[in-house]
């Protein structure tokens, strides 16, 4: 018969092994944290006066084709323009092995340019400044193409012209000194490592292109 002391040591060793095994199994089965999908890498451009980024929230990874407002959010507290020029915002994407994830980008926009805006424009692409190049058709990065089944907000503008990678908000005035919250959907594919949202106001009304060039919808 083994001494009692030896048996107790064996039981303690076995318990330790079980605890370690449980810990390892827990690590293996824990899903990727949603916060790993994207990171905000910064804003730049001639229009930029100041910016305050809030957070990224991704509770529903891989939810492309989501109908309605996606629970995944990119939140900008405020972005101020002091010049009528563009601002590039860059987001990092991590491949977690799922299809495209649909986000809604919510941002406070302040007009500190001294001029009233007649239109507001957005384009998806890659890179910044002179190195910016547009997203292409069918690359998975888009403004909720092809179904456009999620809401957006661009008040005081009253109509939006859509392309897969462009949006033009028209039919309203953003007075100098005013602040509005814009929101819109973005589909983010797992095949890229980062992307850019370029936005710029303009002060001369731009006519809506014909229906053959884009999809025109009334404001939600």
Residues that bind Ca ion (CB under 5 A): 64, 66, 102, 135, 139, 141-142, 144, 149-150, 164-165, 187
CB of 91 or CB of 117, closer to Ca ion: 91
Q: Under DSSP, is residue 151 helix (H, G, I), strand (E, B) or coil?
A: coil
In angstroms, the CA 172 to CA 122 distance is: 16
Going by their DSSP bridges, the two strands 133-134 and 119-126 should be labelled as antiparallel
H helices present in 134-214, as ranges: none
CB of 69 or CB of 78, closer to Ca ion: 69
Nearest-approach distance from CB 125 to Ca ion, in angstroms = 9
CA–CA–CA angle 104, 138, 71 (5° rounding): 15
What does the DSSP assignment read for 69-116? S-S-EEEEEEEEESSSS-EEEEEEE---S-S-EEEEEEEEEEE-SSS-
Nearest-approach distance from CB 97 to Ca ion, in angstroms = 18
Nearest-approach distance from CB 142 to Ca ion, in angstroms = 4
CB of 113 or CB of 135, closer to Ca ion: 135
Nearest to 202 by CA among 122, 127, 131, 138: 122
CB of 56 or CB of 188, closer to Ca ion: 188
CB of 64 or CB of 88, closer to Ca ion: 64
Nearest-approach distance from CB 148 to Ca ion, in angstroms = 7
- The full 3-state SS of 155-195, as one line of letters, equals CCCCEEEECCCEEEEECCCECCCCEEEEEEEEEECCCCCEE
Nearest-approach distance from CB 185 to Ca ion, in angstroms = 5
């Amino acid at each position: 018969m083994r001494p009692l002391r030896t048996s107790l040591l064996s039981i303690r060793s076995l318990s330790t092994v079980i605890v370690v095994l449980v810990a390892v199994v827990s690590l293996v089965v824990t899903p990727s944290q949603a916060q790993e999908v994207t990171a905000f890498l910064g804003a730049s451009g001639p229009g930029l006066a100041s910016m305050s980024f809030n957070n990224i929230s991704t509770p529903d990874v891989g939810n492309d084709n989501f109908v309605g407002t996606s629970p995944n959010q990119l939140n900008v507290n405020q972005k101020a323009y002091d010049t009528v020029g563009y601002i590039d915002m860059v987001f990092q994407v991590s491949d977690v092995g799922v299809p495209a994830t649909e986000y809604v980008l919510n941002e406070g926009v302040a007009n500190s340019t001294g001029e009233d805006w007649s239109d507001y424009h957005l384009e998806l692409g890659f890179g910044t400044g002179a190195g910016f190049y547009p997203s292409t058709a069918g690359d998975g990065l888009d403004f909720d193409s092809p179904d456009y089944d999620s809401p957006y907000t661009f008040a005081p503008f009253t109509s939006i012209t859509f392309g897969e990678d462009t949006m033009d908000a028209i039919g309203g005035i953003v007075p100098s000194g005013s602040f509005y919250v814009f929101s819109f959907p973005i589909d983010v594919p797992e095949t890229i490592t980062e992307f850019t949202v370029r936005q710029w106001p303009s002060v001369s009304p731009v006519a809506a292109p014909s229906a053959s060039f884009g999809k025109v919808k009334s404001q939600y």
